[in-house]
Structure 1
Amino acid sequence: MNDYDVAVVGAGPVGSSFARQMAEKGFKVGIIERKKEVGVPLQCAGLVGKKIMDTNILPEEFIVNKVYGAYLHSPSGTVLSVAKKEPAAYVLDRVAYDKFLAEKAVDAGADLLLNHRVNGIDIENGEIHVKDHGTISAKVIVGADGHGSFVSSKMNPPSKTVQAAQYLVDTGSKVFNSDYVQLHVNSDISPGFIWVIPISESRARVGLFADTSYKNLNHILNEFISNDKQFEGASVVKKYQGFIPQYDPKKKILCGRTIILGDAASQVKPTTGGGLLIGFKCANMASDVVSKALDEEDMKLLQDYPKNYMKEYKNELRMQLEVKKIFGAMTDEELDRMFMKLKKGGAESMISEYGDMDTQSTLIKEMLKSGLLISILPGMIMKGLLNLWK
């Protein structure tokens, strides 16, 4: 039996980052990973907001492109163009970055146990049963094992997810403005959307998420690429697929001496499904709480983790859930009308100034104060948004 202060299930970026912090504080840490290789296959668009630099290590070598703005396309082609003077987001080599974070955890002293599949867990007593490898015990167990988390399943009903598909596309010529991502919305996939994330002027990650089958996602992507002139003559280099957890405010993230983090805890933005930045921030929170509980030998202190999480994110995520609901109910005609009113109302400059990939409530507040949203959304929807700040 291996005995640890902390056993982390899952060597993804969030689990590895938490493990590194705990090892740096002098605790004995084990990371239990079912895969033979960290980070493979790629299951992420790899676009993260600039605030990542404030939450985790990110060497320049893992940034494949810096993005300054976005072109937002309505169903009929109205385009909102928004931009920042400084990079607003980074396109990452996620496979290499995930490996790097796991290596940093090992460098700090954590044990990385690859090809270890968990098939049983005692969340109250701190025991993890691993297929063909016996039992691992820990004072604290941390589930960071993704959307289909085995650890979370012992604390919660099955997580709700949506499917995502993505192609790596090469056009063979310089057709993309590499400073801008492109986002396309329509009622068939809303509140999901199609993204075009440039890696260079000739290569891009083109994908979407929606509440439909993977087969249908591929059909939509193929139609989109074949009907868009910028992809004329393009080739699909690689295809990817994955699942995005849906944010669940009722999810239990602490039980006994066990906590969950990242996708396992559905710590994702409801509007985009992105979770890396939130996951990193929650790893920082959890590291502070768990280290204190271990130092003081008082597991009751773990209760500070969900409290701190809700204090930090409750209002922001509630607002994003409301925005997601609004978009999900709109027809193509309503989406087109909204885009046209936003464009005429000066929304491009407002989004450029206040827009943020990760904290969207600031922009919503500014649009409410300016009266722009009042002219666009029906009264009942406006009332719902306003109630979020009461």
Structure 2
Amino acid sequence: MNKFDVIVVGAGPVGSTFARYIANEGFKVVMLERKREVGVPLQCAGLLGKKIKDINILPDEYILNEVYGAYLHSPSDIILKVGRKDPEAYVIDRVGYDKFLVEQAVDAGAELLLNHRVKGLDVKTGEVCVGNNSDKIFQGEVIVGADGHASRVSDEFNPKSKSVMAAQYLLDMKKDVFDIDNVNLNVNSNISPGFLWMIPISKSMARIGLFANKDYNGLNEVLKDFINHDTCYKNASILKKYQGFIPVYNSKKKIVKDRAILLGDAASQVKPTTGGGLIIGFECAKMAANTVSRALQMEDIKILNEYEYEYKKRFKNELKVQIEVQKIFESLTNEDLDKMFLKLKEGNAEALISEYGDMDTQSTLIKEMIKNRLLFSILPKLLTRRIGSLWK
């Protein structure tokens, strides 16, 4: 039997970041990754808010482009332009970055085992069974489930998680056509609860994708239709196609049970409005590592429950606000969305969003919109009160 202080199931960016932190504390750590290669296939838009550099390591070599703002498009193409003078986000090489984070964890002392799919586990005893030609048994004081939206670890103490599908193309225009300083985001009731994005990598290459309550064929139809009807993408070459799943945030999900904790997508630690989860995941990796370290040092596994408490204390309100915003957007028709964009433009919302907007902490902007009574002008009073009540 292979004995470890911590068994990390999944070697994605959040799991490997946690493994680095806990290995640096001197604990014996193993990462069990079901894939044969870390980071592939790409399953992310690869756009990270500027906070990333305060939260985790991000070498410049993995930054493909810096983004300063965005063009927000309504269904009939009413456009809001928002942004700042300094970079607000980074377009990154996610595959390379994922590999880098795993290398950092290994350099810190964590062991990496690829092609190791977990078949079973016991959250009470810390046993993990892996099927890889012949069964292997691993024993850990703590099991960390960082194994994505369909987490095998989460299934031990939660109902099956819900998720929505995402699809993305890598486009090559063969010539300079893109404004590399801005992303483009399109909202439309036909792709609820998600949106469509265009993220420039360079003046000639971009990632274009969306997530919605559709299957992969449905997402492909929307993407192809969008490309075919926008003259900007005339003669575009599709270099690669990607698909993946985004977990639906679940406030009732348990993230600690006996010797097991959950991290990242496995814990549905994602923004309900955008589906992004790396920033939250990285913060939680640090939070979890601190808690696991204390539990191991004190030889008291009950200390793990503090991680769930700290997580909810840090993110509960923010995620509640984002859930309400998402519900409102899901209820709007395309006509409603166009009217909302017009009122936002008339209400000088572009300046307000540019000043208070944040990719990762959206509640700050919502508070300002309530304070400036801008929300009252674009939403029914009942919905505005519902959002406002979250701070009472």
TM-score by length of 1: 0.99
Residue 382 of structure 1: CA displacement? Answer: 1.0
Q: CA RMSD in A?
A: 0.6
- Return the alpha-carbon distance in structure 2 between the equivalents of residues 190 and 12 of structure 1: 28
Which AA in structure 1 matches 2:36? K
**Percent identity between the two aligned chains:** 63
Task: Find the counterpart in structure 2 of residue 126 from structure 1.
Answer: 126
Task: Find the counterpart in structure 1 of residue 306 from structure 2.
Answer: 304
Q: Please state whether the residue corresponding to 1:388 is helix, strand or coil.
A: helix
> Aligned match of 1:324 in 308, 318, 326?
326
- Return the alpha-carbon distance in structure 1 between the equivalents of residues 47 and 40 of structure 2: 17
- Return the alpha-carbon distance in structure 1 between the equivalents of residues 44 and 248 of structure 2: 15
> Aligned match of 2:317 in 287, 290, 315?
315
- Return the alpha-carbon distance in structure 2 between the equivalents of residues 122 and 49 of structure 1: 37
Task: Find the counterpart in structure 1 of residue 42 from structure 2.
Answer: 42
- Return the alpha-carbon distance in structure 1 between the equivalents of residues 117 and 235 of structure 2: 43
Aligned partners of 1:116 and 1:133 also within 8 Å: no
- Return the alpha-carbon distance in structure 1 between the equivalents of residues 388 and 37 of structure 2: 47
Task: Find the counterpart in structure 2 of residue 75 from structure 1.
Answer: 75
Q: Please state whether the residue corresponding to 1:363 is helix, strand or coil.
A: helix
Q: Please state whether the residue corresponding to 1:99 is helix, strand or coil.
A: helix
Q: Runs of 5+ in structure 2 lacking a partner? A: none
Q: Please state whether the residue corresponding to 1:237 is helix, strand or coil.
A: strand
- Return the alpha-carbon distance in structure 1 between the equivalents of residues 177 and 192 of structure 2: 27
**Corresponding position: 1:179 with 2:181:** yes
Residue 191 of structure 1: CA displacement? Answer: 2.2
> Aligned match of 1:234 in 230, 233, 236?
236
**Corresponding position: 1:58 with 2:66:** no
- Return the alpha-carbon distance in structure 2 between the equivalents of residues 156 and 208 of structure 1: 28
Q: Please state whether the residue corresponding to 1:300 is helix, strand or coil.
A: helix
**Corresponding position: 1:221 with 2:202:** no
How many residues are paired up? Answer: 390
Q: Please state whether the residue corresponding to 2:374 is helix, strand or coil.
A: coil
- Return the alpha-carbon distance in structure 1 between the equivalents of residues 104 and 344 of structure 2: 45
**Corresponding position: 1:145 with 2:167:** no
- Return the alpha-carbon distance in structure 1 between the equivalents of residues 128 and 55 of structure 2: 29
Task: Find the counterpart in structure 2 of residue 100 from structure 1.
Answer: 100
Task: Find the counterpart in structure 1 of residue 390 from structure 2.
Answer: 388
Q: Deviation string for 1:74-130 (max 9, x for gaps)?
A: 000100000111110001100000000001100011110111111010011100001
Q: Please state whether the residue corresponding to 1:41 is helix, strand or coil.
A: coil
Which AA in structure 2 matches 1:23? A
Q: Runs of 5+ in structure 1 lacking a partner? A: none
> Aligned match of 1:280 in 279, 282, 305?
282
Q: Deviation string for 1:107-162 (max 9, x for gaps)?
A: 01111011111101001110000112410000000000000100001110111000
Q: Deviation string for 1:199-223 (max 9, x for gaps)?
A: 0011000000000111010000000
Which AA in structure 2 matches 1:181? V
Q: Please state whether the residue corresponding to 2:375 is helix, strand or coil.
A: coil
- Return the alpha-carbon distance in structure 2 between the equivalents of residues 2 and 220 of structure 1: 48
